[in-house]
Each structure stands twice: as structure tokens, then as C-alpha cells.
């Protein structure tokens, strides 16, 4: 029974990591950028929920909607303002820009909201559901369900729509895609929008589970999700989900056996091991450097 | 089509007479004037002139590093020319993006195949067809009736294109898994899907065996006749160039050193020296 609870916890935490990792992996897949600001987009999403519910007193549904929409717009805006002008610059420049954007968001949030944690009110009544002796957290179940549905929609979007075809084409060969008439900039914007929308959903789920927003909450969350994306094989959508779940489970089980101080270390150790044994990640494919 | 009309002069060395003595129908579909590009201090292509009729097949030959692919990159705005202009159907392509140039009517294949190898054969074609598709994400995502209509329409179009090379059976296969020759053919089809007026083929016969090359020659003519487009190709395989092109230009060190019909080129001593080597063939 406690085992089941832990599995559920692992799935819940892993689902959040998976959602965030999907954003990393999509952006990396298309422009080979590790978008270090991705975690901070989640932080902004959590603050939006806090403002809408705690400050303005609106219905949680509005908070969810505005968080997701806000993150989506923020992601697209970051791309337009910070990354798009550097499309043809060396990859290191854009990577450093991403770190800069990350610091900007963290310190901006600290300036505006202060360094102390804000309490995000509950989105709904989350008293545990009892099935006989087993108690299940509705938040955990919701998180898992939302992640499954989001991943399914994302997979459908990428595999079955024209936009998805454009994304895959751009990710394989941007030059050839351009010469085949694909509008690369629009495609990249859409990728940021989709990745950031997932981050927005992640923000809401995270705020449900941990009920607070701090300016630096995106750092560890983002880093862990990044680890998850690399574990699964960066650029791969199923890889990001597998990686996210692995990281979530690793953390939960390490904590469950009483070594919770080690939970972060274990995640990074896992990364090191995978990088030694299988540098491309679990589902990653070796990529030939394009000429 | 008369042989007079087909016989066109690829490269016009004399200026300003870019289209002399011949009737190209209308304005040339593709025109380059004094095109040149420098990389650093090195002149890769210099004073390249070209005028192509609407349905002619022309070839560019030359030793490795002569600047053939660079010319393709200039014609498709991958590179910005240092000098000169490119006119596509009479319109200047300067300042246009690669996407815009494609939509203006120029499509190409690549020397080293650049298919979307993780996508299926049909999807590769659909990407090419995409520039004429106007679907909205909403119709796509929610599978509105319009989506199914368009999907059926584009599936049919893709299949029609695949039929040109008898490749329908590969439609669901991953592009990267196809045999080499089939990948080259697919790349041509993908380019055709963008409905070009001019098709640029960068070494279409590279890596093909003689039988495949033979078939390719027939297919290039078939494509021209069926789609009524101009085709410019770069090739090492002399038999292909001589067999299929109506006009040939020879490039060496970024400059055109000879031009004319395949027969004229074959007998030009400068060409034999630059391209076939000094020892000479026959």
C-alpha cells in the first residue's frame, strides 16, 4: 500500500518533469538550443496562478487558462526577442543568451514579487480519495492524466498535422526545409508556443502539488527536466516522457528509503551513468553533424 | 518542339546581348546576369551569365570545386551574390528569402541527398506540396471535414508524383531506408511537389549505376514534357549531360570557359583540357 502510494508519487513527480522535459526536447530538436529559460517560464506560470487567484480572487479555471496562455506567449516572445536575432549566430551565443534570459526572469520575478515564497491557493478541493484502505491523491491522479493526454495530443500534433510535418522537416534539415517552401520562422515560433504551453500546464500541476511560487523555483525543476530530456535522448518525445518518469521515480524512491538528502545527487548520478553507458540517451539517436 | 527551339545557348558571354538570335518563347524563365560571389578574398564564381527557356534542359559541367554547386546556391538564394542579379520569370530574386524564391518557382535537389530521412516517403513529398497547402492548424488538429478533403487531395497528389518514378509502393517507408537511387529520385519528386518553373538537379546521377542513369535520363525528359518546366542540372556523368541536355556550359575555376550544344562541347579543346584532363580522351 505504501508502495503503491510511492509509485503514484513517482508518477506524479515524473509527469511534471516529463511535461517540462518535452519543452526542452522540442526546442532542442528544432534549433539545437538548450533553452535554459524553460524552467523559469514555469516559475512565471506559477506566479500568474498566484496573481489571478490570491491577488485578484478569480476562479481557479481562469488561473489555469491564464497561466497556460501566459506561458505560451512568454515562450514565443522570448524566442522572438532573444533567440530569433541569433538564428545564424554560433550556437554558443544563443546558449549563453538562454542563460541570460533565465537570470533575467529569475531576478525580474524577485524584483517584482520579492524573494519570499507566495502561497498559491488550491485550485480545487483536493481531499484524498479513499478506496478501501488505499488513499489516493486526486492531484496525483489528475497530474498523471493531464500528462498522458498532453503527450498524446503532442504526439498527434507532431506526427499527423501539417505543422508537425513542418517541425520534423525543420528539425532534420533547416536549409532543405526552407528550399522546399517551409516558413522556418513560423515553425520555430510554433515549437516554442507548444513547448511553453506544456510548461504552463506543468506550472499549474506543480503549483497544485507544492502550492507555492518562488523566483528560483524554476532552476531545480528546469535542471531536473533537462536531465530527464537528456536521459531519454534529447530531441525524442517518448524519450522525454521516459526520462521524466525515471527522474521522478528515482527521486521518490530515494526519499522513500530515507535518503531524501541524496535525491538530487541520485538524479545527477543517473545522468552521469547514462551519459557514460549510452551518451545519446535512452531513445536518442546518433546525429551526424550537418555540413 | 522543334530542335531549333530546343537548341538554346546556356551561357551568353557577350553583353548586353543576353538573348541573341534565338526565340526563347517569352522572357527566359531563369536568367543570371554577371553573377559572382567572393568568399573572403577568393572569387568562387565570376561573371556567370545564363538564360534558360521555359522548357529547356541545360547542364553545367566542370571539375570538382569549379563552383557548380555554388551557382545553385546563388540561384536559390542560399548565398547572397556579391555581384550580379538573378531573374526568375523576369522577377529579381535579390533580397528574397529561400522560401520566397521557392515560391517564385525554383526548386532543387542536393549533391549530398538531403531528404527528411526520418519521415516517410509520402511525408517528404507532402512537405514539398506544403508550400501550396493552406491548412489551418485548427482544421488539422480537430480533423474538421476540410482536413479530410485536403488530406485526400494531397495524398492523391503525392501518389501521382510517386507514380512518375513508379515509387508508390514505398509511400509508407522511411525515406532514409530507401536504396540510394530511390532516395535521389524521391528528392527530385519532393522538389517537383513545390511546383517549380525551374528545377535544379545537383548531380542527380551521382552513385547510380549505368542502367539507373539511363532510366534517369528518360525520366528527366519525361518530367520536362509532363510538367513543362526548365531543368538545369549539374553533373559529372558525361553520358547523362550529353544525352539529355540541349545546352551545356563548362565551368572551371568559377568561370565559364565554354558553352554550346553537347556536340560542340565534346569537341572543344579547352573543355577536354579542363574537364577531361590534359592527356585527352580520344
Q: Where are the domains of chain A?
A: 17-123+130-217
CA distance A173 to chain B (A): 7
Domains and CATH numbers, chain B: 1-105+196-282 (3.40.50.300), 115-195 (no CATH)
Q: Do A163 and B137 count as a contact with CB atoms less than 8 A apart?
A: yes
- Please give the distance of CA B179 from its chain centroid, rounded to a whole number: 21
The CA distance from B29 to B50, in Å, is: 10
| Residues B148, B150, B152, B154, CA torsion sign | negative
Q: What is the pLDDT of residues A129-139, one digit of tens each?
A: 777 777 788 88
Q: How far apart are the C-alpha atoms of A131 and A146, rounded to whole Å?
A: 21
- Partner A contacted by B184 (CB < 8 A): no
Confidence check: pLDDT of B215 > 50: yes
Would an 8 Å CB–CB cutoff place B133 in contact with chain A?
Answer: yes
Q: Which residues of B touch A160 (CB under 8 A)?
A: 140
B253 in contact with A at a CB cutoff of 8 Å? no
In the predicted structure, residue A200 carries a pLDDT above the cut 50: yes
- Whole-number CA gyration radius for chain A: 19
Question: Cα-flanking dihedrals φ and ψ of residue A10, to 5°?
Answer: -60, -45
How does residue B18 score in pLDDT terms, banded at 50, 70 and 90? very low
Q: Cβ of B117 under 8 Å from any chain A Cβ?
A: yes
Q: Is the ipTM of this complex over 0.90?
A: no
Q: Between these two residues, B276 and B153, which has the higher pLDDT value?
A: B153
The model's pTM:
0.81
A-chain residue closest to B100, CA distance = A181
Which residue out of B75, B98, B146 would a mutagenesis test of the A interface target, given it has the greatest number of A Cβ atoms within 10 Å? B98
What's the pLDDT tens digit per position in A259-271? 888 888 999 998 8
The pLDDT of residue B133 is above 70:
no
Q: Going by C-beta distance under 8 Å and a sequence separation of 6 or more, which residues neighbour residue B278?
A: none
Q: Which of A165, A173, A183 sits opposite B126 (nearest CB)?
A: A165
Q: What angle do CA A176, A178, A184 make, to 5 degrees?
A: 125
Task: Give the pLDDT band of residue A289 (cuts 50, 70, 90).
Answer: very low
Residue B98 has pLDDT above 80, yes or no: yes
B139 touches A at CB < 8 Å: no
- Give kind and range of the element (H or E) at residue B32: strand B30-39
User: What is the model's pLDDT at position B31?
Assistant: 87
- CB contact under 8 Å between A162 and B194, yes or no, is no
Confidence band of B273 (pLDDT split at 50, 70, 90): confident
Amino acid at each position: 500500500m505504501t508502495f503503491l502510494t510511492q509509485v503514484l508519487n513517482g508518477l506524479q513527480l515524473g509527469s511534471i518533469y516529463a511535461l517540462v522535459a518535452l519543452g526542452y526536447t522540442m526546442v532542442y530538436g528544432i534549433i539545437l538550443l538548450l533553452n535554459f529559460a524553460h524552467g523559469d517560464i514555469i516559475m512565471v506560470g506559477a506566479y500568474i496562478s498566484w496573481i489571478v487567484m490570491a491577488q485578484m480572487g478569480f476562479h481557479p479555471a481562469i488561473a489555469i487558462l491564464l497561466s497556460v496562455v501566459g506561458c505560451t506567449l512568454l515562450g514565443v516572445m522570448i524566442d522572438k526577442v532573444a533567440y530569433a536575432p541569433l538564428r545564424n549566430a554560433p550556437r554558443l551565443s544563443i546558449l549563453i543568451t538562454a542563460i541570460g534570459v533565465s537570470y533575467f526572469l529569475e531576478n525580474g520575478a524577485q524584483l517584482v514579487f520579492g524573494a519570499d515564497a507566495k502561497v498559491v491557493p488550491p485550485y480545487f478541493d483536493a481531499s484524498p480519495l479513499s478506496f478501501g484502505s488505499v488513499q489516493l491523491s486526486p492531484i496525483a491522479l489528475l497530474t498523471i492524466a493531464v500528462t498522458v493526454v498532453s503527450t498524446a495530443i503532442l504526439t498527434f500534433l507532431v506526427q499527423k498535422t501539417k505543422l508537425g510535418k513542418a517541425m520534423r522537416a525543420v528539425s532534420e534539415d533547416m536549409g532543405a526545409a526552407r528550399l522546399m517552401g517551409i516558413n522556418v520562422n513560423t515553425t520555430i515560433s510554433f515549437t516554442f508556443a507548444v513547448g511553453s504551453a506544456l510548461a504552463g500546464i506543468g506550472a499549474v500541476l506543480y503549483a497544485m502539488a507544492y502550492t507555492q511560487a518562488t523566483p528560483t523555483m524554476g532552476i531545480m525543476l528546469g535542471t531536473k527536466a533537462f536531465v530527464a530530456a537528456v536521459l531519454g535522448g534529447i530531441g525524442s518525445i517518448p524519450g522525454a516522457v521516459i526520462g521524466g518518469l525515471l527522474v521522478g521515480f528515482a527521486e521518490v524512491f530515494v526519499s522513500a528509503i530515507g535518503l531524501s538528502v541524496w535525491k538530487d545527487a541520485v538524479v545527477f548520478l543517473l545522468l552521469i551513468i547514462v551519459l557514460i553507458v549510452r551518451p545519446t540517451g535512452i531513445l536518442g539517436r546518433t546525429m551526424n553533424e550537418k555540413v | 518542339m522543334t530542335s531549333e527551339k530546343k537548341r538554346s545557348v546556356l551561357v551568353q558571354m557577350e553583353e548586353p546581348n543576353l538573348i541573341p538570335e534565338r526565340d526563347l518563347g517569352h522572357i527566359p524563365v531563369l536568367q543570371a546576369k554577371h553573377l559572382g560571389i567572393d568568399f573572403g578574398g577568393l572569387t568562387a564564381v565570376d561573371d556567370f551569365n545564363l538564360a534558360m527557356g521555359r522548357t529547356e534542359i541545360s547542364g553545367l559541367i566542370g571539375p570538382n570545386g569549379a563552383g557548380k554547386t555554388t551557382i545553385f546556391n546563388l540561384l536559390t538564394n542560399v548565398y547572397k551574390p556579391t555581384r550580379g542579379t538573378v531573374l526568375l520569370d523576369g522577377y529579381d530574386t535579390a533580397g528574397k528569402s529561400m522560401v520566397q524564391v521557392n515560391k517564385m518557382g525554383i526548386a532543387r535537389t542536393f549533391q549530398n541527398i538531403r531528404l527528411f530521412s526520418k519521415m516517410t516517403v509520402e511525408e517528404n513529398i507532402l512537405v514539398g506540396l506544403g508550400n501550396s497547402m493552406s491548412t489551418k492548424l485548427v482544421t488539422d488538429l480537430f480533423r474538421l471535414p476540410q482536413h479530410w478533403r485536403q488530406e485526400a487531395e494531397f495524398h492523391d497528389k503525392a501518389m501521382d508524383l510517386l507514380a512518375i518514378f513508379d515509387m508508390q509502393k514505398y509511400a509508407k517507408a522511411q525515406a532514409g531506408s530507401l536504396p540510394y537511387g530511390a532516395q535521389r529520385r524521391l528528392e527530385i519528386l519532393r522538389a517537383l511537389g513545390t511546383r517549380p518553373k525551374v528545377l535544379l538537379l545537383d548531380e542527380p546521377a551521382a552513385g547510380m549505376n549505368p542502367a539507373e542513369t539511363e532510366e534517369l535520363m528518360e525520366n528527366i525528359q519525361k518530367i520536362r514534357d509532363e510538367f513543362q518546366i526548365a531543368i538545369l542540372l549539374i553533373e559529372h556523368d558525361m553520358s547523362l549531360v550529353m544525352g539529355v541536355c540541349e545546352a551545356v556550359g563548362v565551368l572551371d575555376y568559377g568561370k565559364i570557359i565554354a558553352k554550346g550544344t553537347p556536340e560542340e562541347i565534346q569537341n572543344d579543346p579547352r573543355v577536354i583540357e579542363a574537364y577531361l584532363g590534359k592527356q585527352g580522351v580520344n
